[in-house]
Structure 1
Amino acid sequence: MDAPSPRSTRYRALADELREAIGTGRLAPGAALPSLRACAAQRRLSLNTVTAAYRLLEDHGLIEARPQSGFYVAARLPEPQRALRGAPSRALGDRQDDLAAQVLAAQGRPDHLDLALACPHGRRFYPADPLLRTTRSILRRHADVVSRYALPPGDALLREQVARRARRLGMALPADEVVTTHGATEALHLALRAVAREGDSIGIEAPAYFNLYPLLRGLGLRAVEIPTHPRHGLDVDAVARLLRARELAALVAMPTVHNPLGCTMPLAAKQRLAALAARHRVPLIEDLVYAELQSADPPEPAVKSFDRDGWVLACAGFSKTLAPDFRIGWLHAGRYTPTVQQLKFAMSGGESGLLGAAVGRLLQDGGYERHLKRLRRLCQSQVATVRGLVARHFPAGTSATQPAGGFLLWVELPPSVDSAALFRAALAEKIVILPGEVYSAGARYRHCIRLSCCREIDAAFLAAIETVGRLAHAMTTRRGNTSPTRRR
C-alpha cells in the first residue's frame, strides 16, 4: 500500500483538529471559521490543503458554506428531553424478538453496510499489532498453554490487571474474587442466576440493552422496565418506589455510558442507587462494558465504588475496546462470589488460557491504556461527525443524544416515522439500522433508532446515512406532513 502523501496527511490533520474543536464545543454551532485564504495564511498551508479539509468537514455535516459569507459550524441536533418510558405503548408480543432476529440475519450479509452493530469495525479501533505480538510471544515461550484446560476463576495476571484497572473507576476488587467469563454477556447470565430465581421480577432500564429480554425469559424472570432519561440515566425515584413496594428481586443497569442512550448517571444518583440496594438488600448488577470509553477525564466512578456490603455485582468485557473475537469478560459478584464461582465451573468451565494471558499481558505493559486514549478521542470524533450527518440529512423534528462516551447514537425521529418500517426500507437498500422497538417490550420507541459510529466514515458510510435520512423524509411526507427542506 502506498504511503499517504504529505498533502493528504496535512488536510486530514486540519480536519481532525477542527472536528475535535466542534465536538468538544470549543467551536460552537453558528461560529464562523476563518476564510480559506486566512486559514491557509495562519497555518502556513496551501489553499488546496485547507479547501480539502473544509470540504471533508462539509461532507460530514459539521460545517456549512453560506453564499457570500463563508463557512460556519453547522447547527447541532437538539437532544431528547424526556424519558419515553411513560409514553403510551402497546405490547409487542413476539414482534420484539422477530425484529431482533431480522437485524441479526441482516448483519451476517457481507454485501450490506451495517450501521447497527455495536462492535468497532476496522484497524483504527483495535490494537491489532500489539495483540499479535503479545499472542505470538506467549505461544513462543509457553507453547503448552494450548494443551491445558483452563479452569475458573481464570488467568491470574488478567485478574490482577482487572482489579488494578478497577481502581480507576473507584472500585476496590480483590483479584482472587474476580471471575473471568466468556464475554460480558456470560457475566450477566452468571450474575442473574446467582441472585434470582424463576418467577422473580428484575428491574431494568427502558430503553434497555435488547439482549437482556431473551436472557431474562430464558431464566424464567420477568422484566420490569424503569424510566431512563437520555441524559441523566435511570430514574432513581422510580427505583425507590418499586423497592418500597418489594416488587423487585434484583436490578440490572448500565449507569456509566448506557447502551443505547450513551448517558452517565450523576454522581449523587449513583451514590443513592448503591444506598437503596444496600438498604433494601436487593442486588444490583452493574454492567460496565462501556465504562472505559467514557469521555470524562478522570473517569466517573462506578456505582460499585459506593458499595460497602457486597450488594453490587460489577461486570464488563474487552470486546468493545480490545478485539471482538477475544471473548473475555469478568465479574465481581460481591457477596455472591462463591455462588458465581460454582456456577461458572458448572456452566462453561474456564476461559481460554491463551486469550486470557494475552489480554493480561497487554493490560500490564501499558499498551492498553495508550490504545484507550486514542480510542476515546476517535469515538468522540466519530459521534460528532454522525450527529452532524443526521442533522444534515434527517427530517426536521429529529433529535439525538449527546453521549457521555462510547460510540452509540440514539436518534428520535418525528412521531410519523415508524422505525421498523424504516429498517425494512433501509434493508432494501442493503443498509442495516437498529429499530427502537427492540429496546422495550412495548412500542414506545417505535420512532427511534440506534446508530453505531464505530466504523470508517468513508464514502459508503456517508451515502448510507444520507439514504436513511431520505427514507425518513419520505415517511414524513407520506403521512401528510409538509416536506421539510434539507438542512445544511
Structure 2
Amino acid sequence: MFTYEILAKEVATAITNGQLPPGSRIRSIREYANSHNVSVNTVKTAYRLLEDRGLIVARPQAGYFVSNNIPVLSAPAALTHAPEKLSLSGIKRLLSVILDNHAKEDFLDLALACPVGEAFYPATRLRKLTSQLLRANNHSLTSYALPPGSVRLRSQIARRGVHLGMVLSAGDILITHGTMEALSLAVRASTRPGDGVALETPTFYNLYPMLEDLGRRVIEIPTHPHTGMCLDTLQKRIDEGEVAAVITVPSGQNPLGFTMPEEHRQRLAKMANTYHIPVIEDAMYAELQYGERAVPNIKAFDEEGWVLVCASYTKTVAPDFRIGWLEAGRFRDVVRQLKFTSTVAEPALLSETLGMFLENGSYELHLRHLKRLYTRQIDTVRGIIARHFPQGTRVSRPECGFILWLELPENFDTLLLFHAALDEKILCMPGLLCSGSKAYSHCLRLAVCVELDDSHVQGLARLGELACAQAG
C-alpha cells in the first residue's frame, strides 16, 4: 500500500468511526504533512483520493471538510399497515430479465454480486495449482468423488473456522455446489413442506424463490440496518408457533451490509438451542469483515448442534469452481444423504486445488488484498452517489462484503428506475426483489464488485441522473 493510501485510510477510518463528524474541518495539507513527516504532495494525493470517494470536500479559502452529502441508513419506521406483496412469479420475471442481460457485453451490470476480473481472484495461482495436481495425480479425472468431499479441503475449512470463533471437525463438513445448494440442503434437512422459515427483511433475493420451490412459508422479521434481525419480534413469532427455522446473513448482510453484534449472535444461538429451532447461518461474506477483529459466527455459540453454517469460495477465490460447504450440526447425516441423492458430489480436482490454495497461506494474502480493494471501491461509489443521485438519498456503509443499499426519497419507485436504466443498458436491482413486498419500493441494491473503469463510473453517474430526472 502506498503512503498516500495509508494516509487516506487513516482519515476515512476517523470519518467512519465518527471521530470526524460530517461538516467538520480536517487539518490542512501542510499541517498533516508536518505531523506525519511526509511530503505535501503525498498528502495532496491522499486528499484528492478522499475527494474522489466523496468523503471530504474542498472549500475555497477555507480548507477541507468532511462531506455531509451521504446520510447513512435510517432505522425502519413502524409500518401502519401490511405492505402490498409482490407475487413470486413477478420476482422470478424480474430476475430473469437481469440474468438474460447480465452476460451481454454492451450491458453494465450493477445488479448481481458477481465479482468480475483478475483483480478479484487469484487466477494465475489457481491455474498453476490445477496443473500441478493433474501432473501429480492421474486418478482425479477417472474416479468418483463422493460425499462428504475432499478431506484436504474439509480439513482446511475446519482450520479456518478458528478465525471466526468456530471449533469445527473435518468429519462434520460437507462440500456443496456453492452456498445456494448448502442453504437448500439445510432447509430441506431441518424443516418440512408447509413450515414457516423466518427471514430478515430485506434479505438475499434468491431466498424467496428458493423457499417457494421447496414449499416453505416465508415469515418476515423486521431488520435494523445496523444491528440486524429484531430478536424480540422473532421470539414472539416463535412463541406463536409460526417459526420452524431461521435463515440469517449476519456478516455483510445482503443487502444492508451490517455485521450483527456479537451479543445478538449469542442470543440467537441460545434461542436456537432453547427452543430447538434450527438457525441457518449464511456466512458467505464472513471472512470479508473490515474491522480490526472479526466478529465470531453464530455457530461459535452453538452448544447442541442447532446452528447450521453455510459458506463458499465463489466470491473470493474461484467463481466457476462453485465450491461451497455446510456444517449442519445435528442434521449432518441427513444433509449427506440429500446431497448424494441430488447432485452426488463436487469435483475432486477443483476441491483439491482449492484445498491446496488454502493450506499454503496464499488465501490470507488474497483476503487482505480484497479488503483493501473493496474498501476503496465502496468509498468511491458512495462518492459518485453523493454527486449524482437525488438529494436526501441514504446509502449503507458496509462493514463487510461489497453490496450497497440505497434509500431514495420516500415516494420514489425504483422499479420505474430499473426500466429506465434497462433502456440505457444499465442493470440495477429494485429493492422490492429483496423483500417480496412493496415496502422497499424506494430502495435500490448496487454491487460494487467490478473494476471501476471509466465506463462503470459513467454508468453509475448516468443511473444517478436518471434517478434525479424521475425525482423531478
* Farther off after superposition, 64-73 or 371-380: 64-73
Q: Which residue type is aligned with residue 450 of structure 2?
A: R
Residue of 78, 82, 100 corresponding to 2:71: 78
Task: Find the residue that maps to 1:444 and give its secondary structure.
Answer: helix
Task: Find the residue that maps to 1:162 and give its secondary structure.
Answer: helix
Residue of 112, 123, 139 corresponding to 2:107: 112
Paired with 2:362 and 2:368, the residues of 1 have a C-alpha distance of 10
Instruction: Report whether the alignment pairs 1:90 with 2:79.
Output: no
Task: Find the residue that maps to 2:391 and give its secondary structure.
Answer: coil
Deviation at 1:150?
A: 1.2
Q: Which residue type is aligned with residue 134 of structure 1?
A: L
* Farther off after superposition, 156-165 or 88-97: 88-97
Residues 211-264 of structure 1 deviation map (CA, whole Å, 9 limit, x = unaligned): 011111111111111111100101111110111111111111112221111112
Deviation at 1:385?
A: 2.0
Residue of 43, 59, 62 corresponding to 2:55: 62
Per the alignment, residue 6 of structure 1 pairs with none
Question: Does structure 1 conserve the Cα–Cα contact (< 8 Å) formed by 2:53 and 2:382?
Answer: no
Instruction: Report whether the alignment pairs 1:441 with 2:414.
Output: no
Residue of 330, 336, 340 corresponding to 1:335: 330
Residues 365-444 of structure 1 aligned to structure 2 (within 5 Å): 365-444=360-439
Deviation at 1:140?
A: 1.7
Paired with 2:25 and 2:456, the residues of 1 have a C-alpha distance of 27
Cα distance change, pair 26–322 in 1 and its aligned pair in 2 (3 A): farther
Question: Does structure 1 conserve the Cα–Cα contact (< 8 Å) formed by 2:57 and 2:65?
Answer: yes
Per the alignment, residue 467 of structure 1 pairs with 462
Point out where structure 2 has 5 or more consecutive residues left out of the alignment: none
Per the alignment, residue 254 of structure 2 pairs with 259
Residues 124-174 of structure 1 deviation map (CA, whole Å, 9 limit, x = unaligned): 222222222222211121133122221110100100111111121111121
Cα distance change, pair 422–384 in 1 and its aligned pair in 2 (3 A): same
Deviation at 1:406?
A: 0.8
Paired with 2:393 and 2:98, the residues of 1 have a C-alpha distance of 23
Task: Find the residue that maps to 1:153 and give its secondary structure.
Answer: coil
Per the alignment, residue 174 of structure 1 pairs with 169
Deviation at 1:44?
A: 6.0
Instruction: Report whether the alignment pairs 1:149 with 2:144.
Output: yes
Question: Does structure 2 conserve the Cα–Cα contact (< 8 Å) formed by 1:262 and 1:404?
Answer: yes
* Farther off after superposition, 395-404 or 234-243: 395-404
* Farther off after superposition, 446-455 or 102-111: 102-111
Paired with 1:291 and 1:391, the residues of 2 have a C-alpha distance of 28
Task: Find the residue that maps to 1:204 and give its secondary structure.
Answer: strand
Cα distance change, pair 76–147 in 1 and its aligned pair in 2 (3 A): farther
Instruction: Report whether the alignment pairs 1:476 with 2:471.
Output: yes
Residues 33-44 of structure 1 aligned to structure 2 (within 5 Å): none
Paired with 2:79 and 2:263, the residues of 1 have a C-alpha distance of 24
TM-score, length-normalised on structure 1?
Answer: 0.89
Q: CA RMSD in A?
A: 2.4
Question: Does structure 1 conserve the Cα–Cα contact (< 8 Å) formed by 2:404 and 2:447?
Answer: yes
Residues 277-300 of structure 1 deviation map (CA, whole Å, 9 limit, x = unaligned): 112111111110011111223211
Residues 448-463 of structure 1 aligned to structure 2 (within 5 Å): 448-463=443-458
Q: Which residue type is aligned with residue 102 of structure 2?
A: Q
Paired with 1:469 and 1:338, the residues of 2 have a C-alpha distance of 50
Per the alignment, residue 485 of structure 1 pairs with none
Paired with 1:117 and 1:76, the residues of 2 have a C-alpha distance of 26
Task: Find the residue that maps to 2:321 and give its secondary structure.
Answer: coil
Per the alignment, residue 237 of structure 2 pairs with 242
Question: Does structure 2 conserve the Cα–Cα contact (< 8 Å) formed by 1:64 and 1:73?
Answer: yes
* Farther off after superposition, 259-268 or 91-100: 91-100
Task: Find the residue that maps to 2:446 and give its secondary structure.
Answer: strand
Per the alignment, residue 129 of structure 2 pairs with 134
Question: Does structure 2 conserve the Cα–Cα contact (< 8 Å) formed by 1:30 and 1:73?
Answer: yes
